[in-house]
Structure 1
């Protein structure tokens, strides 16, 4: 397959995503007259907003209403006003957040990355191997990006401190997961894009993983420790919000273990 034909596969795939999201919500096809990057941005904005609000509301409804006082004591439940303010911060940043996947799609469609369109082009064994390498790169990258957002004082003061005003159980909620300064949120997602240049990556998998970030960040801010090794669950991340110097990792505890910043929730309970 020639290079231009190969890149057409990426264009066809992203057009399909646009048809699913924009075609369902904006009937009439007027959106098809928009420039391609703007179409991708609009689709990502709608998808990201729906994912954030729906996952946040459902999870809050479950843990704060259906399971009230089961997972968290009454005084650890954030107020409605606190959650509302978190939503405001996240929604102000959302238009900027989705610029990153829009830009990554542009680079993919232009042939600048090592992306491939179909698993049939390689093999399932190769796909799983590449995915594992991709995830290691993302774990490493996000750990150090997050850590430097703490260690480099201007970055913390002007960017990351926006997120760390939520530093107690009763100020943390699933809605805090995306309540960042826009540039902070983008910087912590950049390793997903950097990986596209380092390892062959399946386009659909890349897009799914970017949106999984929204669900994952909601989960690790709910203060409920799942205790599934080696997952960096909410118990670990709550410690990060209270100590500021531990548990910078993303999906797993491995990077914190390797670089000496891990603090276990059970040990924290014993200290208390």
Structure 2
């Protein structure tokens, strides 16, 4: 049921129309796309944004850690081969149009008034904005933890979906490009908490859009095998353990859920046993 009236909802539509205008005008030689339905335009814009984010963050980070600062962050035998990275790029590139269907759907639901999204922070006040955003992030952290864990625990889901990502199970097969190398449905399932939160919590529209695309940058970060050691951040040191043991460190941005539910393994624990 719509929460806001038509005039209010038009602000969301106008915002996404502007996004479409900026992005599609920049990449299209003509204006042929203007005759397409608005959701199709939004999906195309999300695809362009998704590919740009993936390739810019991936290539930039690979340049820094594998060439410019070669051996400064990770040992030589932990550097993945170009062939491994090409395979990861191929998997992620094929899945990207499917990934982008989820933010397109969330935008459509927001524009239709089905969610609790609001347009301006001033409508809630900055203190309430921070409070609700903290609740949003906690909900997303909880949801992604359990979705990820069940993708391991439910054997058919692991076999047919999540195993595609866990081909990369050693330091010398993990790279920033592995971050989005999922079966398309796997990637969508792990991002669904971002959408479910919109129905439960008042959420600032632009912040939601930014956080959804931040996922692409974050997954690049946690697959680069560089352990930042910034507690309680779920850095690559923790996530590399997940790729080697399969039973630990299911969390997303932080280690809190793993700590709460008994699946946390510290990188230092591995070093002590080595």
Range of TM-score over shorter length: over 0.9
**Structure 1 residue 2: deviation in Å?**
6.6
Which of 140, 146, 165 is the aligned partner of 2:148? Answer: 146
Give the distance between the partners of 1:137 and 1:19, measured in 2 at CA: 32
**Structure 1 residue 47: deviation in Å?**
0.3
**Structure 1 residue 30: deviation in Å?**
2.0
Counterpart check, 1:211 vs 2:213:
yes
Counterpart check, 1:89 vs 2:91:
yes
Structure 1 segment 34-183 matched on structure 2, within 5 A:
34-183=36-185
Please say which of residues 211-220 and 11-20 is displaced more in the overlay: 11-20
Which of 186, 189, 200 is the aligned partner of 1:187? Answer: 189
**Structure 1 residue 125: deviation in Å?**
0.6
TM-score (norm 2): 0.98
Give the distance between the partners of 1:235 and 1:31, measured in 2 at CA: 44
**Structure 1 residue 157: deviation in Å?**
0.2
CA change 1:84–1:123 in 2 (3 A) is same
**Structure 1 residue 32: deviation in Å?**
1.4
1:142 aligned counterpart, secondary structure: helix
**Structure 1 residue 212: deviation in Å?**
0.3
Q: Deviations over 1:217-252 (max 9, x none)?
A: 000000000000100000000000000000000000
Q: Deviations over 1:146-201 (max 9, x none)?
A: 00000000000000000001000000000000000000000000000000001001
2:230 aligned counterpart, secondary structure: coil
- After superposition, the CA RMSD in angstroms is 1.0
CA change 1:169–1:2 in 2 (3 A) is closer
Runs of 4 or more consecutive aligned structure 1 residues displaced over 3 Å after TM superposition:
none
Q: Deviations over 1:98-138 (max 9, x none)?
A: 00000000100000000011112111111111100000000
**Structure 1 residue 28: deviation in Å?**
3.4
For these two proteins, the number of residue pairs brought into alignment is 272
Counterpart in 1 of 2:204? 202
Give the distance between the partners of 1:26 and 1:90, measured in 2 at CA: 23
**Structure 1, unaligned stretches of length 5 or more?**
none
Counterpart in 2 of 1:254? 256
Structure 1 segment 6-45 matched on structure 2, within 5 A:
6-45=8-47
**Structure 1 residue 29: deviation in Å?**
2.4
Please say which of residues 117-126 and 250-259 is displaced more in the overlay: 117-126
